[in-house]
Amino acid sequence: MTDIPTLRVARPTDDLEALVRFYRDGLGLKVLFRFEDHDGFCGVMLGHPKAPWHLEFTASPLHPAGRAPTQDNLLVLYLPDRAEWDAAIQAMRDAGHAPVPALNPYWEERGVTFEDPDGYRVVLENDAWDH
């Protein structure tokens, strides 16, 4: 495979706008695309315009999503530069999101965990992914 495939992580929500505020205003992701009433679903895709990945959140009044099944449903973002990591944590706090304790103590070593409005968690890890 010569091209890197684009990865979309998709999940439903009961409050699309609350998730947009969390991921856009707190984490700084960009709204890449939105759609309304596509066969009963509305949605938004967020990410970085040049990254080979994005997050998709969908909502439908006919299909309630509920909350995360556990506190260990994680999205981990690796931020190896200490200044960028500190700035990302501050941006989350400035957007009104307080850190929460990680369920797995591993993530407390070099990370800070935040919980989105649906109970899913995002870890900002001050480390590089080098595996």
Burial class (CB in 10 A: 0-12, 13-18, 19+), 97: buried
**Fold of the domain built from segment(s) 7-59:** 2,3-Dihydroxybiphenyl 1,2-Dioxygenase; domain 1 (3.10.180)
Q: How far is residue 104's CA from residue 9's CA, in Å, rounded to a whole number?
A: 22
**CATH assignment of 74-125?**
3.10.180.10
User: Is the pTM for the entire model greater than 0.75?
Assistant: yes
pLDDT tens for each residue of 72-124: 999 999 999 999 999 999 999 999 999 999 999 999 998 999 999 999 999 99
pLDDT attached to residue 88:
97
- The percent of residues above 90 in pLDDT, for the chain, comes to 89
Domain range list for the chain: 7-59, 74-125
**What does the mean pLDDT of the chain come to?**
95
Report the pLDDT averaged over residues 4-30.
Answer: 96
Q: Which of 118, 104, 49 is nearest to 76 (CA)?
A: 104
